[in-house]
Amino acid sequence: MDAEPGEDHQAAALDPTAHGTLHWAPRHHGGLRDRMGLIAEWIARTGPRLFVSDVSVEVAVLARLMGTPVVVAAMRGDRFDRAHRLGYDLADALLAPWPRTAPVSGWSKSWLAKTVHTGAFSRYDDRPRPHPDRPAPTREVVVLVGAGGAGIHVEDLLQAREATPGWSWRCLGNSADGWVQDPWPLLCRADVVVTHAGQNAIAECAAARTPAIVIPQERPHDEQRATAHALESAGLATVRPSWPPPGEWADLLNRAAKRDGGRWTAWSPGDGAQRAARMLDQMSATIPEEWQVACASQ
């Protein structure tokens, strides 16, 4: 991290947004200066043919100011603030881990022209589904919380369990059920997965081809709500804006379980990572005039 304990609060008084043009560039911030210096030194020393920026507009700008072509990892939600527009405008290409059939509303033609839609990719892509040892005595629902676990309370889970006697519940993540190192077998065995709308969580549900109930959590720029809306519009998941009351769970699970999990292939083709790698290889090996053609062919 750039900031030592207490420095974030101090930086708030040092114009961290550079008059609204950036997200995090406070004046005279030692941590920021050191990080940018390390990146600049690496670019100067190695001369990369291509630079991929995940979420940092400032790093993307730094690389491009040093003459290095930049690919920016696109994100859903409202990315029309000045800083995001700067990052997306200067990018030579945008990498979108969702299908072309689920576009982001309001994107300009110039952004779309340089976007490569890879579809989602997961650590579980191409991993074989395990064969169950025996049929489960009850239908199973897995709640995918993650390390943070924000937005779901233990009392909510207990009430949902009590209201659905025909279902066996298991909560994965930072919860009373404990952390599971490898959730893949449980995701595949589940009849329904209940999850937030984080990009990785959705990708793992999609890789498992398991019907999902998606409950978006609050995130900057409404990223999860935008993802949930895209999934609902495409008919890929059952979406609720917030945790349902206990009386709705039985019907909700029954209806979600009837959804064809095979429809997830529209969101997660299984080779999204390979598509992204091919795009980066092609861009790093071609001249700039050819890049837009390469993007349009994806």
Q: Do 101 and 188 belong together in one domain? A: no
Q: What is the mean pLDDT of the chain?
A: 90
Q: Does 132 map to a domain?
A: no
Chain segment 251-281, per-residue pLDDT in tens: 999 999 999 999 999 999 999 999 999 999 9
pLDDT at 152: 75
Provide mean pLDDT across the span 168-184.
Answer: 80
Determine, yes or no, domain membership for 129.
Answer: no
Distance from C-alpha of 226 to C-alpha of 55, rounded to nearest angstrom: 17
Q: What percent of the chain has pLDDT over 90?
A: 79
Tally of structural domains, the chain: 2
Q: Which of 267, 255, 153, 157 is nearest to 204 (CA)?
A: 267
Q: How confident is the model at residue 238 (pLDDT cuts 50, 70, 90)?
A: very high
Residue that wins the pLDDT comparison between 262 and 5: 262
| Residue 175 falls inside a structural domain | yes
Q: Do residues 260 and 277 both lie within one domain?
A: no
Q: What is the DSSP string of the chain?
A: --PPTTHHHHHTTS-TTTTTT-SS--TT-HHHHHHHHHHHHHHHHH--S-EEESS-HHHHHHHHHTT--EEEE---S---SHHHHHHHHH-SEEEESS-TTSPPTT--HHHHHTEEE-----TTTTPPPPPPSS--SSEEEEEEEETT-TT--HHHHHHHHHT-TTEEEEEEESSTT---S--HHHHHH-SEEEE---HHHHHHHHHHT--EEE-PPP-GGGHHHHHHHHHHHTTSSEE-SSPPPGGGHHHHHHHHHTS-GGGGGGT--S-HHHHHHHHHHHHHHS-HHHHHHHHHT-
Instruction: Supply 281's token pair.
Output: 């290889």
Segment 79-86 shows an average pLDDT of: 97
Cβ neighbours around 78 below 10 Å, total: 15
Both 113 and 153 in one domain: the answer is no
Residue 131 belongs to a domain: no
Return the exposure string of 212-248: e unless at least 16 CB atoms fall within 10 Å of the residue's CB, then b.
bbbbbbebeebbbbbbbbbbeeeebbbbeeebbeeee
Same domain membership, residue 206 and residue 92: no
pTM of the model: 0.89
> Residue 156 CB: number of other CB atoms within 10 A?
15
**Does residue 31 carry a pLDDT above 90?**
yes
In a domain, 133, yes or no: no
Residue 126: inside a domain: no
Backbone angles phi, psi at 134, to 5 degrees: -160, 155
Q: What is the pLDDT of residue 145?
A: 79
Q: How far apart are CA 257 and CA 288, in angstroms?
A: 47
Domain check: are 183 and 68 in the same one? no
pLDDT of residue 256: 97
Same domain, yes or no, for 29 and 55?
A: yes
Task: Determine the pLDDT at residue 181.
Answer: 86
Do 37 and 151 lie in one domain? The reply is no
Indicate if the pLDDT at residue 297 is higher than 80. no
pLDDT given at position 36: 97
> What Å distances lie between residue 165 and 86, 161, 246, 250, CA to CA?
52, 7, 12, 9
CA distance 66 to 190: 49
Cα-only R_g, the chain: 21
For 128-139, the pLDDT digits (tens) are 989 876 677 789
- Could you report the per-residue pLDDT of 127-174, keeping only the tens digit for each? 998 987 667 778 999 999 765 545 678 899 999 999 999 999 999 876
In a domain, 33, yes or no: yes
Query: Under a CB-based contact definition with an 8 Å cutoff, are residues 132 and 189 in contact?
Result: yes
- Say if residue 243's pLDDT is above 80: yes
Q: Please give the pLDDT value at position 153.
A: 82
Q: What is the pLDDT of residue 11?
A: 56
Q: Domain check: are 165 and 251 in the same one?
A: yes
C-alpha to C-alpha distance for 212 and 103, rounded to whole angstroms: 21
- The CATH number of whichever domain residue 243 belongs to comes to 3.40.50.2000
State how far the Cα of 171 lies from the Cα of 188, in Å rounded to an integer.
Answer: 14
Q: Is the pLDDT of residue 176 over 70?
A: no
Residue 178 belongs to domain spanning: 139-266
**212 and 228 inside one domain:** yes
Same domain, 26 and 45: yes
In a domain, 250, yes or no: yes
181 and 254 housed in the same domain: yes
Residues 259 and 281 in one domain: no
